[in-house]
């Protein structure tokens, strides 16, 4: 197993009392799997994904990565975990508008390597891999929604992650573009043995997973 979580709970205080967004959840994620997480709005999907990526601290519970426990309350350890192992793809693309496609990837690589020519070469290789070698100098506003998401995927691959987390990656795309993005994620999963965990509302997107999880009120209903 690449990721294991045991008795994970995340509690929020609302105006009407406490609510468990993730409720005593235990889950094993096999290395190289493609996991899809579905559920209604408010079921805990994104909260779970953010905890798996070390971006959100749970109220209680444990997480193990490749057999080693990750201290979910140590910010330095979480930052190291994210930098070394995790890539993120978000629904909003989250590209920096005043940077070109290649520069958006270079900024993610800069923390790993100070040699600018090496960084640019790697960024260009990643853009070529997602089919955007002819869009390197384009700004986000000059790219279609599908192209922006391809740049975001290329950026997520900058640190060669073992674990790729995607939160509604096709939420802003039409069906044909959605299938293109899902095919890229599936290719990353199969060719590079990268474990992919994807939150989605789409039944079509969920079919891409070889492990499918449905959440309801922070609990797993089926897998």
Q: Where in the chain are the domains?
A: 34-57+87-222
Residue 88 vs residues 16, 157, 160, 175, 191: alpha-carbon distances, Å: 33, 8, 12, 22, 18
d(CA 52, CA 58): 10
One pLDDT digit (tens) per residue for the chain, 223 residues:
899 999 999 998 877 788 889 899 999 999 999 999 998 888 888 999 999 999 989 999 999 999 999 988 889 999 889 888 999 998 777 888 999 999 999 888 865 556 778 888 888 889 998 888 898 899 999 998 889 988 999 999 988 899 999 999 888 788 888 898 999 999 999 988 999 999 998 888 889 899 999 998 888 886 5
Architecture of domain 34-57+87-222: 3-Layer(aba) Sandwich (3.40)
Judge contact between 81 and 70, C-beta under 8 A.
Answer: yes
pTM of the prediction?
0.89
């Amino acid at each position: 197993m690449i990721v294991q979580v045991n008795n994970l709970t995340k509690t929020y205080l609302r105006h009407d009392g406490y609510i468990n967004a993730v409720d005593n959840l235990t889950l094993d994620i096999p290395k190289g799997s493609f996991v899809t997480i579905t559920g209604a709005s408010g079921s805990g999907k994104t909260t779970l994904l953010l905890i798996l990526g070390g971006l959100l601290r749970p109220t209680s519970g444990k997480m193990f990565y490749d057999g080693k426990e990750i201290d979910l309350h140590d910010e330095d350890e979480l930052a190291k975990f994210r930098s070394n192992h995790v890539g993120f793809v978000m629904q909003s693309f989250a590209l920096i508008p005043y940077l070109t496609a290649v520069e958006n990837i270079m900024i993610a690589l800069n923390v790993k390597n100070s040699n600018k020519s090496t960084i640019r070469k790697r960024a260009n290789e990643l853009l070529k891999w997602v089919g955007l070698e002819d869009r390197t100098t384009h700004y986000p506003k000059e790219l279609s929604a599908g192209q922006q998401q391809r740049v975001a995927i290329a950026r997520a691959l900058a640190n060669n992650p073992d674990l790729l987390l995607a939160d509604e990656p096709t939420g802003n795309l039409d069906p044909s573009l959605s299938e293109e993005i899902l095919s890229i994620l599936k290719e990353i999963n199969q060719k590079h043995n990268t474990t992919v965990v994807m939150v989605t509302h789409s039944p079509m997107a969920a079919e891409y997973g070889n492990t499918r999880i449905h959440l309801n009120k922070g609990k797993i209903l089926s897998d």
